[in-house]
Chains A and B, each alone.
Chain A
């Protein structure tokens, strides 16, 4: 059974319209597309942060407020709370009914942030803030994890750490959706790829098929790296 099922979902901003149907299963799904394709809007709809027309089913049930507790999202522009790095994690844990400092420190260590645990979160570098945002999401137990360009601010070493964390999550049976314009990351990380262009789902399939045998010309151009929309 699909974890997420979107049927004729439409989000109309006037100048831009996202319109698609798709099913997302457990594992890692990459939403691939250039800037403005609708990747972030799609993630926000899945996270129940946007109103929309159409139908959205979460594990077979019509998605509603109660499902928000099963989904978390990491934004492209990392947002941090006042207080220390550790405070940020403890707040996330507290919402889950858990205030284990040990768990918070374990996750910070995983993401190379333990050294800055007592630093004010607002004073972190862009890359550190992005890792903190990811750490905060990893600290809480969810069914679905949405990542919007999760490694866009990171150097190769930290990007690789984040990708490993995402893989580990998928191995533990979670559903991961990553919005990215990075074809190499999509190829490396995902089980399935959905290619979006101008708010439309152009092609959706197994990662191997999308990269080795794309059926649509737009997809072919994009995954070959020839397309600049």
Chain B
């Protein structure tokens, strides 16, 4: 570890850490923006195909990130169907890939949180004079801690995954480069491959600290709600 503090460029570590936060934060925000309304819809409204959709999201919860990464790589590769978007080896590409990965988490946790409170809270609100729309709003507000949890879980899963960040991001790093895509997980993987275990450990600890810090802050928010 002595050589570590000598060799490690803390500026680069900060850059990689901030990129991890930015890329995965955006993925969690996008997944929450889409996933929360979908979760609400799946939990509160009966429509044809509802159970099928729920089972798809539940199945996608366990999809290996490398499989998702490979699938997205084929889609975004220059000769792939979405190659014209130019998202391969970009931060935005990683964010969108991670968004797809964590979307089922947001949908499933949101839907479950609402289902746990929905019937009794909905009926209670109705008996107190709420309109059906007001009762739905009350159900969602009662499920808010669970919905916040879905966003925390989404961020934590996104920031800690490797497959998509590596295959879509490519671990690109150039000093002072504007198109870098290296994030904490890809950097850890690279340093382990090079045998620089001490650097990998430091980066691993930083990744864990990020996850703990975000979870702690969000838990405070959850309690406050």
The answer on a CB contact under 8 Å between B138 and A49 is no
B142 proximal to A (CB < 8 A)? yes
Chain B interfacial positions (CB closer than 8 Å to A): 120-121, 123-130, 134, 138, 141-142, 144-145, 225
Q: Which of A15-23, A28-36, A66-74, A99-107 contacts B (4 or more CB under 8 A)?
A: A66-74
Q: Are A72 and B128 in contact (CB under 8 A)?
A: yes
CB within 8 Å of B: which A77-100 residues:
77, 79, 81-82, 91-92, 95-96
Tell me, yes or no, whether A140 is within 8 Å of chain B by CB. yes
Contact status B124-A79, CB under 8 Å:
yes
Which residue of B is nearest A69, CB measured? Answer: B129
Candidates A49, A81, A82, A96; contact of B127 at CB < 8 Å: A49
Considering only CB atoms, which chain B residue lies closest to A97 in the complex? B129
Q: Is A193 an interface residue (CB 8 A)?
A: no
**Contact between A82 and B142 (Cβ–Cβ < 8 Å)?**
yes
Q: Would you mind naming 18 contact pairs between A and B with Cβ atoms under 8 Å apart? A: A49-B126, A71-B127, A72-B127, A74-B127, A75-B120, A75-B124, A75-B127, A79-B123, A79-B124, A82-B141, A82-B142, A82-B225, A91-B138, A95-B134, A96-B129, A137-B127, A137-B128, A142-B129
A229 to B124, CA, bound (A): 30
B125: which A residues are within 8 A, CB to CB? 95
Q: Given A79-B120, A81-B138, A81-B142, do A136 and B128 touch, yes or no (CB 8 Å)? A: yes
Specify the main secondary structure of chain B where it touches its partner.
helix
CA distance in complex: A140, B128 (Å): 7
Chain A positions near chain B (C-beta within 8 angstroms): 47, 49, 68-69, 71-75, 77, 79, 81-82, 91-92, 95-96, 136-137, 140, 142
Given A79-B120, A79-B121, CB of A92 within 8 Å of CB of B128: yes
Q: How far is the CA of A69 from the CA of B144 in the complex (A)?
A: 27
B148 to chain A, nearest CB (A): 13
Residues from chain B with a CB closer than 8 A to the CB of A81 are: 121, 124, 138, 142
Q: Which residues of A contact B225 (CB under 8 A)?
A: 82
Picked from B121, B126, B138, B145, the residue with its CB within 8 Å of the CB of A68 is B126
In Å, the complex CA distance between A82 and B143 comes to: 9
A140 to B126, CA, bound (A): 13
- What 8 A-B pairs come out closest when comparing CB atoms? A95-B129, A73-B127, A79-B120, A92-B128, A79-B124, A72-B127, A69-B129, A95-B128
Least distance between B225 CB and chain A CB atoms (Å): 8
Interface-centre pick from B121, B124, B128 (highest chain A CB count, 10 A): B128
B128 to chain A: closest residue by CB: A92
A82–B116 Cα distance when bound, in Å, is 13
